[in-house]
Amino acid sequence: MTARSIFHYCLLIGLLNLLIIRLNAQNSDQAAAEFYQLKDYFDRSYSEDYNLLNGKKFYRLYYNTIGHPFFNLDEFRKGSLLINGTRYEDVLIQYDIYNQQVILEKNDQKGQIEQIILTREFIGEFTLDGKLFRRMSFPETGPRFFQVVNAREVSCLLFWDKNMSIEGSTFTTHFTEQKGDIYLLVSGQLYQIKNTASFIEIFGEQFSREIKRYKRRHKVSFRKVSDEGLRQLVNYCISLSDNT
């Protein structure tokens, strides 16, 4: 951590301590309002936003590799971030799906490029390549970033992942192709979809024939995931239930 960052963190810690002291002495809403006024002063004074500073420096660990650990492309692209309730548009980010990390690229005060692994727990959601990802937690999975394919009474989610292996003789790192695990969220309960049978079970056996016919006609595969194909299939199955 640089001296500049240490100074910024120390200043913010001082602000947090001030908030705690004032919370014990006066109305909490008033104390919180004063804290955010001080934080705004901090951001304006140092041309930095604490949300975008909070993380650790990114170092590229995989040099002698086949493949890469990132979602879609091994490059930073414009996306958006929701951090601690604050939204940031047109920021350069990468999503490391192997390590479940979001990496921000920005210019520091000297105009030099720096890359920061953002604190995972502070990220509410982000968009990349036109896709929406939310940090969600379920008993079956723990906290993860899920791509939200659709959000209705039956929501469809994707969890993207890669595997890694190391070749012993050359120490070459191999990353597999990215794989999307399919989940349906129904009334707060998460169900993993591994095949057609587990999908039909969610909507009911009475729709088995219609669902299989739709999958064949529209060439929807649970092995080779297509966002739009899944979205249309789930919406079609919801309409079947609505029309009964």
- Is a pLDDT exceeding 60 seen at residue 88? yes
- Residue 243 has a pLDDT of 72
| Position 107 pLDDT exceeds 90 | no
pLDDT of 39: 54
Alpha carbon distance 67, 86 (integer Å): 34
Position 95 confidence tier, pLDDT thresholds 50, 70, 90? very high
Q: Which range among 32-36, 142-146, 237-241 has the greatest average pLDDT?
A: 142-146
Name the range with the highest mean pLDDT among 14-18, 38-42, 183-187: 183-187
Q: CA 138, 142, 147 angle in degrees (round to 5)? A: 70
Cα–Cα distances in Å, from 232 out to 101, 148, 163, 181, 186? 29, 14, 29, 17, 17
Task: Please indicate whether residue 22 or residue 190 has the higher confidence score (pLDDT).
Answer: 190
Task: Give Cβ neighbours of residue 15 (< 8 Å, ≥ 6 apart).
Answer: 35, 38, 39, 42
- Bridge-based pairing of strands 172-175 and 65-66 is parallel
Question: How far is Cα 101 from Cα 20, in angstroms, rounded to an integer?
Answer: 31
Does the structure show a pLDDT above 90 at 60? no
CA 85 from centre of chain:
14
The larger pLDDT score, comparing residue 225 to residue 178, is at 178
pTM beyond 0.85? no
N- to C-terminal Cα separation, the chain: 61
The residues spanned by each domain of the chain are 1-48, 55-137+162-180
pLDDT digits (tens, 9 = 90+) for 135-180: 999 999 999 999 999 998 899 999 999 998 887 677 788 999 999 9
pLDDT at 52: 65
Question: Residue 158, CB half-sphere, CA atoms under 13 Å: how many?
Answer: 24
CB atoms near residue 19 (< 10 Å):
18
Q: Is the pLDDT of residue 7 over 90?
A: no
In which band, very low, low, confident or very high, does the pLDDT at 2 lie, cut at 50, 70 and 90? very low
Range with lowest mean pLDDT among 12-26, 127-141, 174-188: 12-26
Distance CA 90, CA 42 (A): 23
How far is 109 from 125, CA to CA, in rounded Å?
A: 26
Confidence at residue 173, expressed as pLDDT on a 0 to 100 scale: 86
**Contacts of 233 by beta carbon, 8 Å cutoff, 6+ apart:** 211, 214, 215, 218, 220
Q: Read off the pLDDT of each residue in 189-202 and give the average, rounded to a whole number.
A: 94
If one counts every other C-beta atom within 10 angstroms of the C-beta of residue 233, the result is 20
